Every structure is written in structure tokens, then in C-alpha cells.
A = this chain, B = another copy of it.
Amino acid sequence: MSFDPAQLTYTSDGLIPAIAQDRESGEVLMMAWMNQEAVKRTLETGRVTYWSRSRQSFWVKGESSGHVQKLVDFRVDCDRDCLLVLVDQTGPACHTNRRSCFYTAVRDGKEIELMKPMDD
């Protein structure tokens, strides 16, 4: 079956959540949002492209930081309302310079920092 970005289920804002996973380590790196055009660009260019809700603009991951995400595989979930992109991640995925955005664990009611910012 042909894939059509218009046939995904978007929020009332026209967005769909996209989870980025490191294809090598399996680590979940981040979650951000795409709109229909970002889905199209990601597939066409092989460079993961989100929609920045705060800046209201396309966000080619790593365009300014160099921390690019090369698309390895693009997955759609059963409800067609969430995406999973397997990526080759250059450097940190998180804007705090950590490999993953999910660096805080909650254990016994306390927040624990699991990883430190990477060296540049």
C-alpha cells in the first residue's frame, strides 16, 4: 500500500507526535512533533524534520547544532496517530547536550539524573 502523509491522524493543531530512537543502541532519544509537510520532508530528505511549536517553523534537527538525525526507518503506529523514527544520531539529541532528553528518572519519589551533558 502506498503511504500518504495526509492519511495520518493529526491533532486539531495539525500535528503528530514523533518518537526518535537510536537505531543502534535502541535508546529513546526524544519526542517532538511533525506536521504533514514535516513528515513529507523527513521521508524525502532522509533528515528528520520536526515542526517547532514554540518557533512555529520547520526544524531540521541539527541544522544549527550539527546534531543531525539521519532517518534509518520510519514507522507508523496502529492508530496512525504516532510516529517512530529510527535514526543515526550525531552527538546529543537533547538541547541540554545530553544524548537523550529522558535523562531524569523518578525512583522512590525522588528525581535522579541519569546522564551528564556530553563533551563538545
Chain A residues close to B by CB (< 8 Å): 1-3, 17, 19, 21, 25-28, 30-31, 43, 73-79, 82, 84, 94-96, 98, 101-107, 109-111, 114
Minimum distance in angstroms from A95 CB to a CB of chain B: 7
Given contacts A84-B102, A105-B73, contact A110 B3 (CB under 8 A): yes
- Nearest to A1 among chain B residues (CB) is B111
Minimum distance in angstroms from A107 CB to a CB of chain B: 7
Given contacts A102-B84, A111-B76, contact A31 B3 (CB under 8 A): no
For the complex, what is the distance from the CA of A95 to the CA of B77, rounded to whole Å?
Answer: 11
User: Which of B75, B96, B105 is close to A104, meaning CB atoms less than 8 Å apart?
Assistant: B75
Contact assessment for A74 and B105 in the assembled complex, using a CB-CB cutoff below 8 Å: yes
For A76, list chain B residues within 8 Å (CB).
102, 104-106, 111
For A28, list chain B residues within 8 Å (CB).
19, 21, 28, 84
Given contacts A84-B102, A94-B78, A102-B84, contact A107 B30 (CB under 8 A): no
Minimum distance in angstroms from A102 CB to a CB of chain B: 4
